[in-house]
Amino acid sequence: MSHRVCQIKALAGLSVLELYRRKDLIVVFVLCAVILLPLMVFTPFGVSGASRYVNEMALLLVWLFSLVIGLGVSARLFPPEFESRTIYPMLSKPVARGTVLAGKYAGALAASVSALAVFYAAYGLLAGVRQGVWFPAVLVQAFALHIGFLAVVTALGLLGSLVLTPSANLTMMGLTVTGMLFFGQRLSALASAQAWPGRTVLTLLDWFGPHVEFFDLRQRVVHEWPPIGWDVCLAVLAYAAGYAALCLMVAAFAFRKKRF
Amino acid sequence: MSGQRLQLWLLLVGAGVAVALGRAIPVCFEGRLPQTPGEDVLSLILGDARLELSRALGEKAEEYFHGGVRNLNCTIHSDAVGRGHEGHDAEARGIKEGEPHGAHQHGDEGEHASGHAPGGGLWQWINASVHEQAHRHLEGLQMVEMLPWFWAACRLSAKNTQAYESSAYVLAYELGKPEEGVRLLEDGIRKDPAKPELDFFLGEIYFSKLRDMRRAEACFVSAREKCLPAQRDAARAEELLRLRLRAVFYLGYLAKQRGDLDRVRLCLNEAESLAPQHHTVRDLRVLLEKSGTKNQ
């Protein structure tokens, strides 16, 4: 058991190193600074004091870049191994296919979450300096739920990397996640307004699609609404864990059947 | 070698022709080219989409007004009735502030406005819990949060009258910066001089916030005059009629303040000819019947 944990840790460590070696995070950080710094000193109609629009833009960028990093990291885990055939020595170590999958997933998630932690720390400091409120409970909840979002996204990216080509995977998962972010809340209402077969398709999508909008607490953070109940928070995190586990089970099945 | 020289000469001739055409076409076809000179980059890139984008930004500001919740039944405009600038009609009519004259009532505080009823399925329950839908408003100095969106809306399109009005309302009435509101409205009038709403609103700020009756009267006169041709627009006729009546009432009220009863009578006649049953007619009659005059 401990041997397997060591293997998973080694595989996960490689994925984290890969993210920092490519310096994606630095590029993203510079981009955020270029967008946000002019907004921070902007005084519309010569009146200062507005901060929510900066917070909203900052959180939008955090969401956008966390999606890009999460999906990018998870989707790039297996295809280079297949192309360069380094998957053979890895599997002949011997490391079980399930262990490889778990290690890769843990690595993708750890890398994405480490980047997310940096983003939220920067956001918390920025908001604290501007508004004098340091890391309120709703921000902590937003971070926790955002980790849930990344758990689902990386699992989807990993699954896609085993059954689709890299570009198709990125396109499909990107569209699915952004589509669910925008329309997930309205799917049941949209489904009930349709005739068959549209209703069935939308209902199935509502049941089985990744409801990533559950993890989006931006509105509460930006507009200073009170935090959600911890029972809701736990329910949403349980949903994330369940959905990610389901994706990984399907991915394990696909990986077992995969011929290199 | 001679072939290369020929190619060089052909290249030079081609470049010369291109430059000559580039210089000649704008002169020869002046006024008939698709882009007009002097247009800013935004209008060149976005064209008529600017107004739609500007409206979308105005809606974003309205969303901020409701704490991030989109509420179509309540806007900063509807909320201003009785609370803000339109309440000064009431002030001029001698109605005490705080009376529910056209006040915008919110009986649904705390209710869920988007239809995410708890119990409508597990997904709906989670969504309703995560995404707040309760009805609340920004108040007072908090309204500064709306300004960046209104600023962008005004910058994108000068035809978005509502964005100008709402921005000026926030500046003048909520943030106590009427001079900024005046500057913005003057800019809006300069960019789109045909719309009477901005003149009227400018008059209201002069009247109620800056107490500059001379300028306020000039603005109400201008608004009334701009309403005359604009009223031919059937879609806006009703709205412009109301605006004109309000401008006429203010003019009558200001005339009464000066003791110019003949002018008040003229205003009353104008209002009667426009809408005999309108409350403006009744209010102007009350003004005429009251004895004595108030000094400014």
CB-based contact B108:B196 (threshold 8 Å) = no
Residues 6+ positions from B144 with CB-CB distance below 8 Å: A47, A49, A50, B170, B175
Q: Cβ of B220 under 8 Å from any chain A Cβ?
A: no
For residue B95, the model assigns a pLDDT of: 37
Is the C-alpha dihedral spanning A112, A118, A121, A123 positive or negative? Answer: negative
Instruction: Report A:108-137 residues touching B (Cβ under 8 A).
Output: none
List of chain A residues whose C-beta atoms are within 8 Å of the C-beta of residue B144: 47, 49-50
What one-letter code names the amino acid at B86? E
Q: Cβ of A47 under 8 Å from any chain B Cβ?
A: yes
Please state, in angstroms and rounded to a whole number, the distance separating the CA atoms of residues B294 and B296: 6
Q: What are phi and psi of B132, to 5 degrees?
A: -60, 135
Q: Could B148 and A50 be called an inter-chain contact, meaning their C-beta atoms sit closer than 8 Å? A: yes
The structure tokens listed for A166 are 């890299």
For residue B150, the model assigns a pLDDT of: 94
User: Where does residue B86 rank: exposed (0-12), middle (13-18), buried (19+ CB within 10 A)?
Assistant: middle
Residue-by-residue pLDDT tens, chain A, 260 positions: 677 788 888 888 887 888 788 787 888 888 888 888 888 888 888 888 888 999 999 999 999 999 999 999 898 888 888 888 888 887 777 778 888 899 999 999 999 999 999 999 999 998 888 888 889 999 999 999 999 999 999 999 999 999 999 999 999 999 999 999 999 888 888 888 888 888 999 999 988 999 999 999 998 999 989 999 999 999 999 999 999 999 999 999 998 887 76
Q: Cβ of B213 under 8 Å from any chain A Cβ?
A: no
For residue B202, the model assigns a pLDDT of: 94
For residue B72, the model assigns a pLDDT of: 61
The three-state (H, E, C) secondary structure of chain A, written as one string: CHHHHHHHHHHHHHHHHHHHHCCHHHHHHHHHHHHHHHHHCCCHHHCCCCCHHHHHHHHHHHHHHHHHHHHHHHHCCCHHHHHCCCHHHHHCCCCCHHHHHHHHHHHHHHHHHHHHHHHHHHHHHHHHHHHCCCCCHHHHHHHHHHHHHHHHHHHHHHHHHHHCCHHHHHHHHHHHHHHHHHHHHHHHHHHHCCCCCHHHHHHHHHHHCCCHHHHCCHHHHHCCCCCCCHHHHHHHHHHHHHHHHHHHHHHHHHHHHCCC
Question: What integer best gives the mean pLDDT of chain B?
Answer: 80
Taking 80 as the threshold, does the pLDDT of residue B106 lie above it? no
Q: Cβ of A45 under 8 Å from any chain B Cβ?
A: yes
Q: Cβ of B94 under 8 Å from any chain A Cβ?
A: no
Please state, in angstroms and rounded to a whole number, the distance separating the CA atoms of residues B160 and B154: 7
Q: Cβ of A38 under 8 Å from any chain B Cβ?
A: no
The three-state (H, E, C) secondary structure of chain B, written as one string: CHHHHHHHHHHHHHHHHHHHHHHHHHHHCCCCCCCCCCCCHHHHHHCCHHHHHHHHHHHHHHHHHCCCCCCCCCCHHHHHCCCCCCHHHHHHCCCCCCCCCCCCCCCCCCCCCCCCCCCCCHHHHHHHHHCCCCCCCCCHHHHHHHHHHHHHHHHHCCCCHHHHHHHHHHHHHHCCCHHHHHHHHHHHHHHCCCCHHHHHHHHHHHHHCCCCHHHHHHHHHHHHHHHHHHCCCHHHHHHHHHHHHHHHHHHHHHHHHHCCHHHHHHHHHHHHHHCCCCHHHHHHHHHHHCCCCCCC
Confidence of residue B96 (pLDDT cuts 50, 70, 90): very low
For residue B79, the model assigns a pLDDT of: 61
Q: Cβ of A208 under 8 Å from any chain B Cβ?
A: no
The structure tokens listed for A151 are 């758990």
Q: What percent of chain B has pLDDT over 90?
A: 34
Confidence of residue B295 (pLDDT cuts 50, 70, 90): very low
Size of interface A-B (CB pairs under 8 A): 81
For residue A260, the model assigns a pLDDT of: 65
Confidence of residue B199 (pLDDT cuts 50, 70, 90): very high
List of chain B residues whose C-beta atoms are within 8 Å of the C-beta of residue A51: 145
For B206-231, the pLDDT digits (tens) are 999 999 999 999 999 999 988 877 66
CB atoms within 10 A of CB A126: 16
Instruction: Report B:131-160 residues touching A (Cβ under 8 A).
Output: 131-132, 141, 144-152
For B49-77, the pLDDT digits (tens) are 888 999 999 999 988 998 888 766 677 76
> Is it true that the peptide bond before A197 is cis, omega within 30 degrees of 0?
yes
By Cβ distance, the residue of B124, B132, B175 closest to A47 is: B175
pTM: 0.79
Question: In residues, how long is chain B?
Answer: 296
For residue B166, the model assigns a pLDDT of: 92
Domains and CATH numbers, chain B: 46-103+117-290 (1.25.40.10)
Please state, in angstroms and rounded to a whole number, the distance separating the CA atoms of residues B258 and B283: 17
Confidence of residue B107 (pLDDT cuts 50, 70, 90): very low
For B133-166, the pLDDT digits (tens) are 777 888 888 889 999 999 999 998 888 999 999 9
Q: What percent of chain B has pLDDT over 70?
A: 79
Of residues B114 and B283, more confidence is placed in B283
Please state, in angstroms and rounded to a whole number, the distance separating the CA atoms of residues A10 and A200: 44
Q: Could B126 and A235 be called an inter-chain contact, meaning their C-beta atoms sit closer than 8 Å? A: yes
Please state, in angstroms and rounded to a whole number, the distance separating the CA atoms of residues B287 and B289: 6
CB-based contact B84:B172 (threshold 8 Å) = no
For residue A77, the model assigns a pLDDT of: 85
Q: Could B124 and A228 be called an inter-chain contact, meaning their C-beta atoms sit closer than 8 Å? A: no
What interface predicted TM-score (ipTM) does this complex get? 0.81
For residue B218, the model assigns a pLDDT of: 94
Taking 50 as the threshold, does the pLDDT of residue B97 lie above it? no
